[in-house]
């Protein structure tokens, strides 16, 4: 009788494990790559721009999550698993790589944040997180600031909100997340004052 | 009895995982601007099935001004360029597993929207390429 009870309990546990795996097996270990997420920008020029991305997400600053944390992927029971950057490096780094590549495609010369340049571009990330189960929720709060070489602010644009997009398996979610970032960053750059500040003639260094 | 129900639930969970289809997308253009704009669907070199023409045709069915062709055929009057990535899989036949469509400003390649449709083999049964394209376009421009 004891063996019967044990067998019944084991069978139940096995069935629960199978259901959980079938419904949530793809939730573990997801990674999103933001490095080549931006293909074009609504501004072009030829000057030098120092580019910086600053991650000020509260849960990263307080150590609750690592700097490579980019969101959550939920299993079949809604249980969350962390999603990280493809490189394992900071999200700010991957975002900066994307921005630098895009600026250079548009004719600019992008340099390190502390290098001298007529313009400095800083993206401050207060929130960037995706939360995926049946659909993908994107939560964002970012500010783009353009400074002159003396550190005087020339332009600022902000985007903040949350959206619900579709969702799929890892590669579709990774692509959707990258597209969402591209759209939000493009929106920041499309601001007229930002475009003017970036494309104004200035003294080259 | 409990065990039988649990076993049935497990089998059901496994079975329905074959019916998966997912979509996502977003368009930042205002509706009126999207309706009145002109689109060029750029056919990529590996598109042997001319999916570009299907995409343009399904956009025209929504009342959008769209034309398909190669990059060399694109004329300056088109406001937006439509690019796509199609992935195919074999399961008793080749089926369109994943279609990703991006709409970009022709002047600077900045993104204005994207639509994506993924379907498993079971989900894709009975669907034409046009159906899959429509699913992705629904995410961009809204349902027809």
Supply the ipTM of this predicted assembly.
0.84
Q: Which A residues 142-201 touch B at CB under 8 Å?
A: 163, 165-169, 171-172, 175-176, 179-180, 182-183, 186-187, 189-190
What is the rounded distance in angstroms from the CA atom of residue B133 to the CA atom of residue B58? 7
Best mean pLDDT range from A7-11, A16-20, A26-30, A46-50 = A46-50
Q: What are phi and psi of B14, to 5 degrees?
A: -70, -40
Nearest residue to B99 (alpha-carbon basis) of A172, A134, A164: A172
What is the rounded distance in angstroms from the CA atom of residue B141 to the CA atom of residue B58? 11
The predicted pLDDT at position B92 comes to 87
Chain A touched by B10 (CB under 8 Å): yes
- Orientation angle between helical segments A170-190 and A192-199, nearest 10 degrees: 80
B53 pLDDT band (50/70/90 cuts)?
very high
The predicted pLDDT at position B13 comes to 58
Which chain A residues contact residue B102 at CB under 8 A? Answer: 179
A205 pLDDT band (50/70/90 cuts)?
very low
| Domain-embedded: residue A187 | yes
| Domain-embedded: residue A154 | yes
Q: Do A40 and B13 touch (CB under 8 A)?
A: no
Which chain A residues contact residue B108 at CB under 8 A? Answer: 40-44, 106
Q: Within 10 A of B17 (CB to CB), how many other CB atoms are there?
A: 15
pLDDT of A69-121, one tens digit each?
999 999 888 899 999 999 999 999 999 999 999 999 999 999 999 999 999 99
Q: Do B22 and A19 touch (CB under 8 A)?
A: no
pLDDT of B11-35, one tens digit each?
665 555 555 778 889 999 999 999 9
pLDDT of B100-144, one tens digit each?
999 999 999 999 999 999 888 888 888 899 999 999 999 999 988
DSSP A48: E
| Domain-embedded: residue A131 | yes
The predicted pLDDT at position A150 comes to 94
pLDDT of B81-110, one tens digit each?
999 999 999 988 889 999 999 999 999 999
Our CA dihedral for A93, A94, A96, A97, rounded to 10 degrees, sits at 120
| Domain-embedded: residue A107 | yes
What is the rounded distance in angstroms from the CA atom of residue A86 to the CA atom of residue A95? 12
| Domain-embedded: residue A205 | no
Q: Which range is least confidently modeled, A7-21, A48-62, A125-139, A172-186? A: A7-21
| Domain-embedded: residue A204 | no
Which chain B residues contact residue A37 at CB under 8 A? Answer: none
**A13 versus A112: which is more confidently predicted?**
A112
* Cα dist from A144 to A86, A157, A194, A195, whole Å: 24, 5, 8, 11
The predicted pLDDT at position A32 comes to 95
Domain total of chain A? 1
Distance of CA B15 to the CA centre of its chain: 25
Chain A touched by B100 (CB under 8 Å): yes
- Average pLDDT, integer, range B39-65: 97
Please classify residue A31 by burial: count the beta carbons closer than 10 Å to its beta carbon, then call 0-12 exposed, 13-18 middle and 19+ buried. middle
Segments forming the whole domain that contains residue A175: 2-199
pLDDT of A126-167, one tens digit each?
999 999 988 899 999 999 999 999 999 999 999 999 999 877
The predicted pLDDT at position B22 comes to 82
Q: Which range is least confidently modeled, A19-28, A34-43, A140-149, B1-10? A: A19-28
* Cα dist from A23 to A205, B11, B119, whole Å: 57, 11, 16
**B16 versus A48: which is more confidently predicted?**
A48
What is the rounded distance in angstroms from the CA atom of residue B6 to the CA atom of residue A11? 9
Q: Do A40 and B108 touch (CB under 8 A)?
A: yes
Distance of CA A36 to the CA centre of its chain: 11
DSSP, collapsed to helix, strand or coil, labels residue A128 as: strand
**B8 versus A81: which is more confidently predicted?**
A81
CATH number at A159 reads 3.40.50.10610
Domains identified in chain B and CATH numbers: 21-141 (3.40.50)
- Average pLDDT, integer, range A59-66: 98
What is the rounded distance in angstroms from the CA atom of residue A15 to the CA atom of residue A88? 34
The predicted pLDDT at position A203 comes to 46
Nearest residue to A45 (alpha-carbon basis) of A110, A89, A96: A110
């Amino acid at each position: 009788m004891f063996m019967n009870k044990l067998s019944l309990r084991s069978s139940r546990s096995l069935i629960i494990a199978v259901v959980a795996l079938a419904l949530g097996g793809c939730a573990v270990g997801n990674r999103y790559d933001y490095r080549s997420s931006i293909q074009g920008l609504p501004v072009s020029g030829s000057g030098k721009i120092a580019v910086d991305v600053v991650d000020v997400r509260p849960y990263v600053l307080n150590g609750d999550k690592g700097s490579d944390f980019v969101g959550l992927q939920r299993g079949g029971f809604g249980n969350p698993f962390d999603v990280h950057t493809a490189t394992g490096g900071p999200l700010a780094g991957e975002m900066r790589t994307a921005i630098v590549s895009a600026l250079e495609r548009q004719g600019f010369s992008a340099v390190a944040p502390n290098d001298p340049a007529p313009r400095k571009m800083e993206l401050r990330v207060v929130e960037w997180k995706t939360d995926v189960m049946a659909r993908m929720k994107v939560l964002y709060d970012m500010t783009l600031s353009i400074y002159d070489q003396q550190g005087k602010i020339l332009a600022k644009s902000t985007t903040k909100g949350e959206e619900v997009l579709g969702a799929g398996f890892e590669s579709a979610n990774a692509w959707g997340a990258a597209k969402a970032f591209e759209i939000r960053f493009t929106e920041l750059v499309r601001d007229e004052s930002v475009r003017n500040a970036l494309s104004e003639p200035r003294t080259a260094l | 009895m409990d065990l039988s129900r649990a076993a049935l639930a497990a089998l059901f969970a496994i079975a329905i995982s074959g019916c998966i289809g997912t979509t996502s997308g977003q368009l930042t253009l205002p509706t009126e601007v999207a309706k009145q704009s002109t689109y060029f669907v750029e056919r990529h070199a590996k598109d042997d099935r001319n999916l570009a023409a299907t995409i343009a045709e399904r956009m025209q069915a929504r009342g959008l001004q769209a034309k398909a062709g190669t990059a060399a055929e694109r004329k300056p009057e088109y406001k937006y360029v439509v690019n796509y990535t199609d992935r195919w899989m074999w399961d008793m036949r080749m089926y369109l597993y994943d279609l990703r469509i991006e709409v970009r400003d022709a002047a600077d390649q900045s993104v204005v929207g994207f639509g994506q449709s993924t379907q498993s083999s079971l989900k894709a049964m009975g669907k034409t390429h046009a159906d899959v394209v429509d699913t992705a376009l629904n995410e961009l421009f809204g349902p027809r």
